[in-house]
Structures are given as structure tokens and as C-alpha cells.
Structure 1
Amino acid sequence: MTSEPAGDVLVDAVAVTRTYGTVQVLAPTSVRLRAGQGAAVVGPNGAGKSTLLRLVAGAEAPTSGTATVLGAPAERARRRYRDRIARLLGPVPAYPDLTVAEHLRLVQVAWAGRYPGPEVDEALAAATLDRVRDQYPAELSSGETQMFALVATLYRPASLVLLDEPEQRLDARWREVARELVLGALDQGRAVLAATHDPGLREVLAGRGPVVELAEPRR
């Protein structure tokens, strides 16, 4: 696990906006996130929650304002510090012929010497995925697929974790498990920025940092 000294600013987005043509999909929004902090991005559909995450991830550039991540412009940080930023912004790419457990072992190998734990079976048990450890991605239910994506994202070392509605397709029981996993990441000293509609996850993140409330932009 890679973490930053407490107090270090990992995300500093200042009045960022995003416009496509004449349509503004994200009104001016600011968020600052330090090591060990969580931030919940909330608002109605169409308010720009996913867009804000993509700007912080460096996947898109803001139309105005600045997004600084790990001390560099977000677009540059995306390439320079990819080993310190974990992202779940859509479906997780998976190898069809590797089992759930083998995917996590692959993460272990890829980051050998940099990630001290937990072991694969421990991580799967914490996510209540131990019973599907030997199944292939295509054999998972939609809820299992989402939990697998969250576990795989959190399993690798990272100082900053970006999550876009990690509660998608999860029932009430698994939403509680997802909250515990996110809380565990915060306890490890990671910063977590998550867009969410889940009141429980919002509460977990609000206990560790700001809530970014977005209103639907005027078209």
C-alpha cells in the first residue's frame, strides 16, 4: 500500500468546469483532498459527478479552472503518477481466461515488493467473494462483477482512489460491504474521491472530509 504523509494535498481542483460545444456539463466546482481524507461527490444525474472524476483522473482537461493532482496538472499526473492513482470510472478490464483470484494474483505480481497485503483469499473474503474465487469474469452476476471491480481497484497500491458510483448494481448487503472496503482504504491513509448516490457511503466519506454537492447545470 502506498500512502502520503498526513496533511499532504493530493487533489486541488479550483473552479473547474467542462463544456461540450455550448453545453456546460459541469458548473464551476472546487475540491481539495488531503492524504487520509474522503470526499463524496453528490448530486442529481447530469450534474457532472462523473465529469469531475474524469477531470481529476486526467482523462479530460477542464474547460476552465485548474485540476492539480499529486502536485502536477491532472493530465500530466495521469501519466507520471499512474502507480499512485487507482481508478474505478467504468467497467474494469478483465482477462476472460483468468479467475477472480488469478486477477488479484496478477496485481500482486505487477506490484511485487510494493504492496504488503492482504493476501488474495483475505481480500476476497472481506468482499464476500470467496465463493467465486475460482470463477471467470463472464460467470459472475452483475453484483459480483461490481464487487470484483471494487476489490481489484482497491487491491493495488495507491495514494489516491477515484470511484464513480461504486455502489452500482449492489444490493443492501453488498453496499454495506463496499462501505467497509472504502473505510478500510481511508484507514490505510489513502485519499478517496467518490461520486455516489448511496447515503451510507456519503456518510462514510463525509466523516473523513468534504461533501461536494453539485446542482444540475443550466442548459
Structure 2
Amino acid sequence: MNALVEVTAASRTHGTVQVLAPTSLCLGAGQGAAVVGANGAGKSTLLRLVAGTDTPTAGTVTVLGLAAVDARLRRRTQVSRLLGAAPTYPDLTVAEHLRLVEVAWGGHHPGPGVDEALAGAHLERVRDQYPGELSSGESQLFALALTLYRPAALVLLDEPEQRLDAVWRDVARRLVLAALDRGRTVLAATHDPGLRDALADRGPVVELAAPAR
């Protein structure tokens, strides 16, 4: 298996506090992995290491054949991430944000189209609303749909289920599984047992140790 993501005994320490214990992970094309553990176990830290926005204190993190910090610059079109609030423009509607992604890809976006993507995310009703007009749940689904609309090989998600009720969590799970079905690699930190189980069918579950109290 050619690894898109390879984490080898990577750890992160801030001062004297270890925020991520040594962790290893290998993911190939089309695989999914769930990162689980208690709050403070280092789930978000691991995703930042893979995203290349942070560096390991020890160990290595390789993404798309490069050190993650280099892949962040040289492979940026191949990685899509939702590690916080999605970057949005206040004067563009929900649908216009997706169209902007299509334009950015020079007309070579492989699909689905904007209407199909919004329908899949149950966001047709708010297609002409602005980001600031959405409810917290709608904002989260919009952020997830926008992240997945980029045709990147690797998708990084930090708790994509947050602020979603049971019905919309099911929608979020289906969106993630659809990305896997299209051959994309997904690494997601989650507290949602349903998403964990769905990803466990597609790859490893990385269970991080609870932090010392």
C-alpha cells in the first residue's frame, strides 16, 4: 500500500506537558481512519501535525510523500481540511461558496454539481442565504459540505459532528462515506460512535490515551 499519510511515533510536547503521546498511523488511498479519545488526549494536535500547521517534538509525519510541513505548501491542492470554523466570505451565499470552488479548479471540478452537493447535505433551503444567517447546525453542515467539495485526495476533519443533532449527524456520516466511496482518504477526529464505526469499516481506529489529570 502506498501511504498518503504516515505517522511514525509522533509526539508533541508544549513546555513540560505532553499533549500527544507517541502515535503511529498509516493510511492509503480510499481509506478512512477515526481518531478517538478523551478531551485533551491530542486528537486535534494529531490532525494539526498531519495538516502541517504544527510540528512533532519527536517522530515523523509524512503526507503525500513529503514531510507534512512541506506538503502543506507543495501539495496544498491535494489536502482539504476542516480543523475549526470554515473560512467564508460574508457577502457570498452558500451556493456561491461552492461555485467559487468550481471556479478555483478552472472548470475541471469532477462533480457533483452545486445543486447535487447542497441536496446531499440537506442545505437546499439555505442555498441563497449568507453564512452569518445560518443556524449553528446549518453552519456546521455547510462547513463540512464546503470542505468535501474540494476534490482533494486527503480530507482532515476535526469533530465534523459538533453542533449537529442526531438527524444531521447521520447526514454528516453519509457525506464522509460518499467521499471515501470516491476514493478519497479521510482522517477524522470524532466523539460520534456512528462515525467511528463507519470509519472503522474503511481503516484503522486510532485511540489516544487519556491525558494525565
Length-normalised TM-score, structure 1: 0.96
SS of the counterpart of 2:71?
helix
5 Å-filtered alignment, 1:70-85, equals 70-85=64-79
> Over residues 102-122 of structure 1, what are the superposed CA-to-partner deviations in whole Å (9 max), with x where a residue is unaligned?
000000000124322111011
| Counterpart residue number, 1:128 | 122
Query: Paired residue for 2:210, among 210, 216, 219?
Result: 216
2:75 partner amino acid: Y
| 1:39 and 2:39 are equivalent in the alignment | no
Unpaired stretches in structure 1, ≥5 consecutive residues: 1-6
| Counterpart residue number, 2:158 | 164
1:12 partner amino acid: E
Unpaired stretches in structure 2, ≥5 consecutive residues: none
5 Å-filtered alignment, 1:172-187, equals 172-187=166-181
5 Å-filtered alignment, 1:34-183, equals 34-183=28-177
CA contact (8 A) 1:143 1:169 kept: yes
CA contact (8 A) 1:40 1:212 kept: yes
Equivalent pairs: percent with the same residue?
Answer: 74
Task: After TM superposition, give the deviation of residue 217 of structure 1 in Å.
Answer: 3.0
> Over residues 18-77 of structure 1, what are the superposed CA-to-partner deviations in whole Å (9 max), with x where a residue is unaligned?
000000000000110000000000000000000000000000000000000001000000
Task: After TM superposition, give the deviation of residue 218 of structure 1 in Å.
Answer: 3.1
CA distance in 2, matches of 1:72, 1:192: 18
Task: After TM superposition, give the deviation of residue 216 of structure 1 in Å.
Answer: 1.8
2:162 partner amino acid: Q
CA contact (8 A) 1:108 1:115 kept: yes
CA distance in 2, matches of 1:182, 1:65: 29
CA distance in 2, matches of 1:116, 1:188: 10
| Counterpart residue number, 1:13 | 7
Length-normalised TM-score, structure 2: 0.98
Task: After TM superposition, give the deviation of residue 203 of structure 1 in Å.
Answer: 0.7
CA distance in 1, matches of 2:133, 2:81: 23
CA contact (8 A) 1:24 1:218 kept: no
Give the superposed CA RMSD: 0.8
2:170 partner amino acid: E
SS of the counterpart of 1:103?
helix
SS of the counterpart of 1:96?
coil
Task: After TM superposition, give the deviation of residue 8 of structure 1 in Å.
Answer: 2.5
CA contact (8 A) 1:54 1:60 kept: yes
